[in-house]
A = this chain, B = another copy of it.
Amino acid sequence: MKRSEPMSESYYYILLCLAKGATHGYGIMQMTEKLSGGDVTIGSGTMYGATVNMIKKGWIREVMSAEGGPERRRLYVLTDEGRSALRAEISRLRRMLENAEEV
């Protein structure tokens, strides 16, 4: 079992938003800002780069628009691999906090 690479804050929130049900880039940007109380902002450049990257990693997948939806949206869903990458990251964060507790 290889050690899981640390993930950036932006990537983490993108996966988190998708796990919670957001479906397109702009929605993820808004949801992240709301979730974090305005502390985390994902710029469009970061968002776009991240989607390309995550598709390559197999963490997310683009799906077809539903009938009647605004078709200029690009919809994404989390894959099983994406879900486990998110879980691994959550474990990593927890371990980091546990290590801090002894201070």
List of B residues within 8 angstroms of A97 by Cβ: 90, 93-94, 97
Check if A64 is an interface residue, CB within 8 A of chain B.
Answer: no
Chain A residues within CB distance 8 Å of chain B = 3, 6, 8-9, 12-13, 16, 19-20, 35-37, 39, 86, 90, 92-97, 99-100, 102-103
What are 26 contact pairs spanning A and B, CB under 8 A?
Answer: A6-B8, A6-B9, A9-B92, A9-B96, A12-B96, A13-B99, A16-B99, A16-B100, A16-B103, A19-B103, A20-B102, A20-B103, A35-B99, A36-B95, A36-B99, A37-B95, A39-B92, A39-B95, A86-B100, A90-B97, A90-B100, A93-B93, A93-B96, A93-B97, A94-B97, A97-B97
